[in-house]
């Protein structure tokens, strides 16, 4: 198996992979949930920085546009009221 990361020694990388393989499924799912939450928070921070006058509802909708795509977000939430 070729290394996945150039900055990690192959032996250490193999240990990490084995550790994850032995990890219980609930723990893996918990880690994925935490990563998803972190990405969502980063996206929200970026939206708020770029749209400082947006209402909480507009920010929520912009996040939906990012996560779902504009077409599906429009179907779910309707047209977005843009920040003034």
For residue range 22-32, what is the model confidence (pLDDT) as tens digits? 999 999 999 99
Query: Would residue 83 count as lying in a domain?
Result: no
Query: Would residue 44 count as lying in a domain?
Result: yes
d(CA 5, CA 54): 40
**In total, how many domains does the chain have?**
1
Burial of 20 (0-12, 13-18, 19+ CB in 10 A): exposed
Q: Which domain holds residue 68?
A: 10-77
Query: Would residue 4 count as lying in a domain?
Result: no
d(CA 19, CA 54): 44
End-to-end CA distance of the chain: 54
Task: Identify the pLDDT of residue 80.
Answer: 80
Query: Would residue 32 count as lying in a domain?
Result: yes
pTM exceeding the 0.75 threshold for the entire prediction: no
């Amino acid at each position: 198996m070729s290394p996945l990361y150039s900055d990690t020694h192959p032996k250490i990388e193999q240990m990490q992979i084995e550790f994850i393989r032995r990890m219980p499924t609930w723990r893996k799912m918990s880690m994925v949930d935490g990563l998803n939450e972190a990405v969502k928070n980063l996206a929200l921070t970026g939206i708020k920085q770029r749209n400082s006058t947006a209402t909480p509802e507009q920010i929520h909708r912009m996040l939906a546009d990012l996560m779902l795509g504009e077409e599906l977000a429009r179907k779910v939430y309707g047209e977005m009221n843009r920040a003034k």
